[in-house]
């Protein structure tokens, strides 16, 4: 598997530092920035953390709404904000956000998720024009429903089949399909 191979390569890298932290809270983002600084600073950030619980809007509580916004949108802001000074000091950086095509198409029972991913896209558009002068680019990749373990566990088979039928190449989208775009950016 592509991800397992990449993880094995990373684990053997002498400059690997891992941090267990919540990106939805400022101390977690600061811990990530400190770990990056300890190994020479960050120049590439992929904001890929996210949660995708489902709930009909009429049953959705504010706590459910806030949990999704906190991780998907606030977490993107907090980690980017924490690592930005390192990129600015280096005079170079790449920020790649993982959005969602659901922002463009909509999806039932995912209002909080779609709003958070729309926010990520807006954040990237605003930030790109502001920090490009420091040699830092900001982009967002917006994949569709991707067959991760979590997505497979939460998505009814008929929804997966409908997604397959709606694609130019009628098959599931796998995590490996997104890697090329991220590496290019």
Model-level pTM?
Answer: 0.86
Section 140-169 average pLDDT: 84
Percent of the chain with pLDDT over 70: 95
Which comes out higher in pLDDT, residue 169 or 45? 45
- Residue of 113, 117, 120, 131 marked catalytic: 113
- Active-site annotation holds for 134: no
- pLDDT score of 64: 97
Q: Summarize pLDDT for 78-131 with one digit per residue, the tens.
A: 999 999 999 999 999 999 999 999 898 888 899 999 999 999 999 999 999 999
Section 63-71 average pLDDT: 98
Residues 6+ away with beta carbon under 8 Å from 9: none
Distance CA 83, CA 86 (A): 6
The answer to whether 110 and 102 have CB atoms below 8 angstroms apart is yes
């Amino acid at each position: 598997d592509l991800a397992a191979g990449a993880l094995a390569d990373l684990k053997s890298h002498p400059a690997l530092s891992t941090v267990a932290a919540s990106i939805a809270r400022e101390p977690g983002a600061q811990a990530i920035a400190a770990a990056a600084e300890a190994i020479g600073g960050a120049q590439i950030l992929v904001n890929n953390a996210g949660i995708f619980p489902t709930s009909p809007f009429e049953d959705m509580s504010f706590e459910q709404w806030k949990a999704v916004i906190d991780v998907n949108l606030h977490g993107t802001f907090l980690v980017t904000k924490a690592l930005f000074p390192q990129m600015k000091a280096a005079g170079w950086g790449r920020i790649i956000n993982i959005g969602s095509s659901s922002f463009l198409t909509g999806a039932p029972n995912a209002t909080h998720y779609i709003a958070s991913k729309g926010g990520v896209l807006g954040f990237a558009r605003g930030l790109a024009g502001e920090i490009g002068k420091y040699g830092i680019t900001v982009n967002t990749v917006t994949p569709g429903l991707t067959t991760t373990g979590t997505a497979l566990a939460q998505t009814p088979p008929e929804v997966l089949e409908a997604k397959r039928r709606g694609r130019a190449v009628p098959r599931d989208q796998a995590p490996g399909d997104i890697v090329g775009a991220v590496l290019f950016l």
